Amino acid sequence: MEIPYSERTRVLTVIGTRPEAIKMIPVIRALQDSGKFRPVVIATGQHMELVADLIHRSGLRLDANLRASDAQNGVKPTLNEMFARIMVGIDRVWASQTVPAEYRADGRREVGGAVACLVHGDTSSAAAAALAAFNLQIPVIHVEAGLRTSNLLSPFPEEGNRQLISRIAALHLAPTSANKANLVREGVDYDRVLVTGNTSIDMLRWAAAEANGFGPGLADLVVAPDRPIVLVTAHRRENWGAGLDRIAAAVRRLSERYPRAQFVVPLHPNPVARGPLIATLEDRPNVMLVEPREYLAFAQLMGAARLIITDSGGVQEEAPALGTPVLVARDTTERSEGVDAGTLTLVGTDPDRIVAEAAILLEDDAEHARRAARPNPYGDGRASERIVQALDHILRAGGTPEELTGCELRDAVRRRLGLAPDELGDGSAALLDAGSRA
């Protein structure tokens, strides 16, 4: 008999940015569809409009909006102010048992009794929520764990955020075996890390079935072999200033060299990120500067592109699944598996290097085909299924995740929480107690 929704095991799921929403929606949907879990969906407000649109288009609902990025007296919060607001918001939502009125999103929903907090990746929202959950003694489960550049300042603040989360997480859900190896080298118990694949590939499977056009402003975009599409995205904090200027200069040179190519440049909402691109590219007739694409349209653009120039982490994972080569406009990347597999080429922000590598992919059909055919190292579209299997194994004493045998994962996580296996019997009572202590 299916467990009534109100009685299912509650799991907090925290989302800040649009990329987090893209990667967490498959997990939330899988939790909900499992018949065993009730996800409590909390948006921090970091990219609120984009997150809310994605959640609702996916047929899900938000429980709370912490409004951590709301301006006060016309001034946007600093990173530290946003961090503090998220931690206070998690505190208040947790203590109230139901979502307080000022945070309520889609109706009055109970929160109390959640046994774990899922955070994703490396954003300030994820780090703040993880630290808040840790302080409340709620077990932290880190989705997309183990990515590393090993340089705390590159990217900033993401590398610091993910290392912080790794120190306090009870369970690490790593996209690849290389990510797992990173964590083990840092001293994380081997049996507390599960390789799942990346949930972005799960989301692509849904997007491929739902996509319908490239979105507003691109009615004139032509999909034809003699009119290649070059998709360009650039927004990361590490590239603000000179880095974005150099990327924009490279795209301008390419647009002049290849007048038949179509350069599509979705602009980030942040004026600091979009300003250099507009200033350098707005007069080029074959450059289309457009507002951010909703996810389905962007997925279709990635699939139609001849190549992508980007500093986005998510694009580095998703584009190879669509057979689109990627030039990574960063000095470092935490997604080294793609570089090793040949699906990604690290070019930095040097215009000469960007132009040279793009020219190869635009002119050499054989080389383009070779890179496009490389297998995607980021998974098979079943990451969310494995994540729910792991949570069922740990929180509900369910079946063993396919990567492991026996009870190694469950016992290792419980030891991390200071709970002996014989305390737990065959259920999750002790974890429920651990998760509800304040």
Print the SS3 string covering 188-242: CCHHHEEECCCHHHHHHHHHHHHCCCCCCCCCCCCCECCECEEEEECCCHHHCCH
Rounded CA-CA distance 328/353 in Å is 11
Rounded CA-CA distance 177/165 in Å is 19
The DSSP element (H or E) to which 336 belongs, if any, is: helix 336-341
Which residue is it, tokens 């999909």?
Answer: 223
Rounded CA-CA distance 312/366 in Å is 26
CA 255 to chain centre: 30
Contact 122, 164 (CB under 8 A): no
Rounded CA-CA distance 63/102 in Å is 12
Closest by CA position to 28, among listed 173, 178, 199: 199
Which residue is it, tokens 């001849």?
Answer: 306
Rg value, the chain, Cα = 22
CA atoms within 13 A on the CB side of 423: 15
Contact 165, 55 (CB under 8 A): no
Rounded CA-CA distance 338/364 in Å is 21
Residues involved in catalysis: 122, 144, 158, 235, 237, 268
Q: List b or e across 258-287, with b for residues whose CB sees 16 or more CB atoms inside 10 angstroms.
A: beebbbbbbbbeeeebbbbbeebbeebebb
